[in-house]
């Protein structure tokens, strides 16, 4: 078991900076997820850790050992790729055992490890099959099993669920979470899917354009995003943003979006005082916008009038796409709500959960 440290790691491909001064310390036995849009540098960071890419500058440590110049096979890591990369002519058993055979591990030990991993993953009845006889989910479990038998210090996952259908992705991510609890090993997992990140990670590192934006627990990222990018990336549907300005009126403070104005809670007046009569960006999540008929008691509700553009019934909730003035936004409302297209409707914002961002720096104002 081991911790992992990225110490001022930069990776360049010619003039392109894929990873820019990355600093992360991952604790022993932690489940860290690197998340961000395609091309943000998260997979490159993982490949640098695996030794598949050389770092341009900085250090990578596994435990207390700097591994920059250590070959991949000697880093004591195991990697699960997006493509299963199974040998088609080999059985499941032989695919899982291949790396151990190369290391000349005794046959009895190989058999024990493969059988143990297969039972852990529920594929013990598939050991004599070949990859073409397996479903996508079964192939993914074989790929994970091949990593498990190596008993590495660190497991690396590079978007391992991307090729699975939606139902299988949900099942497999739950199985990977259980696996982490059972193996008690450091897991580092790369994905562009923030739902995967939120449901699996003990901590999430959000990356954009090769730069670490924020690293924290899933709940803290959701509740207290550091900037506009994190706020918009974490959460599904994404947070709504409204260009606005802050004004005072008779001792009260409002966020004014031209087509609407909502009152700011009094306990936040000191925080936003420096932004009075200045432009800001108001952020509010779809789940903090309610149909007034079904708004829970005790919220700091502020009414906003809007026109209904589209509705999507999800069964347990309704996504309502609305427009007020030049602003388009989404609300997640109670399924008992009855909205019709082009209806002028009223919703309420829960201002207890509002966010304000500086439009110049894009940082959260706190």
Closest-CA residue to 58 (of 66, 228, 137): 66
Task: Report d(CA 69, CA 285) in Å as an integer.
Answer: 46
Token readout for 131 is: 């990859």
CA angle 267, 363, 286 (to 5 degrees): 70
Question: φ and ψ at 105, to 5 degrees?
Answer: -70, 140
- Asked if 267 contacts 351 with a C-beta cutoff of 8 angstroms, the reply is no
Enumerate the H helices of the chain as residue ranges.
42-50, 92-102, 107-121, 136-148, 166-183, 194-200, 218-223, 228-233, 269-272
- Strands 240-249 and 31-35, sheet pairing: unpaired
Q: What is the pLDDT of residue 361?
A: 97
Q: What number does CATH give the domain 4-233?
A: 3.40.50.300
- Asked if 89 contacts 132 with a C-beta cutoff of 8 angstroms, the reply is no
Q: Where are the domains of the chain?
A: 4-233, 240-357
CB proximity list for 65: less than 8 A, separation 6 or greater: none
pTM (predicted TM-score) = 0.91
pLDDT in tens, the chain (366 residues): 689 999 999 999 999 999 999 999 999 999 999 999 999 999 999 999 999 999 999 999 999 999 999 999 899 999 988 777 889 999 999 999 998 998 899 999 999 999 999 988 889 999 999 999 998 888 888 988 999 998 899 999 998 888 778 888 888 888 889 889 988 999 999 999 888 999 999 999 999 999 999 999 999 999 999 999 999 999 989 999 999 999 999 999 999 999 999 999 999 999 999 999 999 999 999 999 999 999 999 899 999 999 999 999 999 999 999 999 999 999 999 999 999 999 999 999 999 999 999 999 999 999
- The three-class DSSP label of residue 53 is coil
3-state secondary structure 138-186: HHHHHHHHHHHCCCCCEEEEECCCCCCCHHHHHHHHHHHHHHHHHHCCE
Q: What is the pLDDT of residue 318?
A: 96
Task: Report d(CA 365, CA 253) in Å as an integer.
Answer: 15
Closest-CA residue to 287 (of 234, 243, 340): 234
Closest-CA residue to 336 (of 322, 315, 350, 321): 315
Q: What is the pLDDT of residue 256?
A: 96
Q: What number does CATH give the domain 240-357?
A: 2.40.50.140
Task: Report d(CA 328, CA 306) in Å as an integer.
Answer: 9
Q: What is the pLDDT of residue 108?
A: 94
- The three-class DSSP label of residue 267 is helix
Q: What is the pLDDT of residue 165?
A: 81
Helix or strand (DSSP H, E) at 247 = strand 240-249
Q: What is the pLDDT of residue 168?
A: 80
Closest-CA residue to 140 (of 184, 173, 115): 173
Token readout for 72 is: 């991949």
């Amino acid at each position: 078991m081991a911790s992992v440290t990225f110490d001022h790691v930069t990776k360049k491909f010619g003039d392109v900076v894929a990873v820019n001064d990355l600093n992360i310390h991952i604790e022993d036995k932690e489940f860290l997820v690197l998340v961000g849009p395609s091309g943000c540098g998260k997979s490159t960071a993982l490949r640098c850790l695996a030794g598949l890419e050389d770092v341009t500058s900085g250090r990578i440590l596994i435990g207390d050992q700097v591994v920059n110049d250590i070959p991949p096979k000697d880093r004591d890591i195991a990697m699960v790729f997006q493509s299963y990369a199974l040998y088609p002519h080999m059985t499941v058993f032989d695919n899982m055992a291949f790396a151990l055979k190369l290391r000349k591990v005794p046959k009895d030990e190989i058999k024990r490890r493969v059988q143990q991993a297969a039972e852990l993953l529920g594929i013990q009845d598939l050991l004599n099959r070949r990859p073409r006889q397996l479903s996508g989910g079964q192939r993914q479990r074989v790929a994970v099993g091949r990593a498990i038998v190596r008993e590495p210090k660190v497991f690396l996952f590079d978007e391992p669920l991307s090729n699975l259908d939606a139902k299988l992705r949900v099942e497999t991510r739950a199985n990977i979470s259980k696996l982490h609890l059972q193996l008690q090993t450091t897991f580092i997992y790369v994905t562009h899917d923030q739902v995967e990140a939120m449901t699996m990670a003990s901590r999430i590192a959000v990356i954009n354009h090769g730069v670490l934006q924020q690293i924290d627990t899933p709940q803290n990222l959701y509740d207290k995003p550091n900037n506009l990018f994190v706020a918009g990336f974490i959460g599904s549907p994404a947070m709504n943003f409204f260009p606005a300005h802050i004004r005072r009126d008779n001792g009260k403070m409002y966020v004014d979006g031209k087509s609407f104005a909502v009152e700011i809670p009094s306990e936040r007046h000191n925080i936003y005082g420096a932004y009075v009569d200045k432009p800001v960006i108001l952020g509010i999540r779809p789940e903090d916008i309610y149909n007034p008929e079904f708004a829970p008691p005790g919220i700091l509700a502020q009414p906003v009038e809007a026109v209904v553009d589209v509705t999507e019934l999800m069964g347990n909730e309704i996504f309502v796409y609305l427009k007020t003035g030049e602003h388009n936004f989404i609300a997640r409302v109670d399924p008992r709500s009855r909205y019709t297209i082009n209806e002028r409707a009223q919703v309420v914002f829960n201002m207890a959960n509002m966010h304000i961002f500086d439009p110049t720096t894009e940082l959260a104002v706190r």
